[in-house]
Amino acid sequence: MTWIIYAVACIFLYGIMQFFIKLSSNGNAITSSMFFVTAQFIAQILLGAYFISKSGFDVNVSSIKYSILGGIAAALATILFFLALEHETISKVVPVVNLNVVVGVLLGVIILKDEINLRITAGIVLAIISIYLLTSSK
């Protein structure tokens, strides 16, 4: 049950983050994204150090390469997100970008052999339909 608390907290924090990114994207999106990533890096170091002090430092060396690749993908995605918000409203960009869950689910199913059922498939289809509905309005 702990995972759902973390996931719901992420929903709110990612929503707040996206709102602040939109506010900052009115200037130069690349410059704003660099300040964003810098602030995120500092916060990650400070919060990471705090949580490590509480639970101990456990490094799985084989997973480091995946963390680095994920970080590179996140950096590029962040820049592209800022650029998208520079050119379009948050109400259109955020739903489209958050369709990333479909990519994650598909990679989990294809590579990690996660199970997929009718409910998950229906959720993906409904998510795609919602993107159409949210972005096709005037």
Kindly report, residue by residue over 40-58, the tens digit of the pLDDT.
999 999 998 998 888 877 7
pLDDT of residue 12: 92
Task: Tell me, yes or no, if the pTM score tops 0.85.
Answer: no
Return d(Cα 36, Cα 76) in angstroms, integer: 13
> DSSP class of residue 77?
H
What would the two tokens of residue 78 be?
């962040």
> 60: helix, coil or strand?
coil
Asked if 108 and 114 count as a contact pair (C-beta separation under 8 A), the reply is yes
Kindly report, residue by residue over 84-114, the tens digit of the pLDDT.
999 988 888 988 898 888 888 889 999 999 9
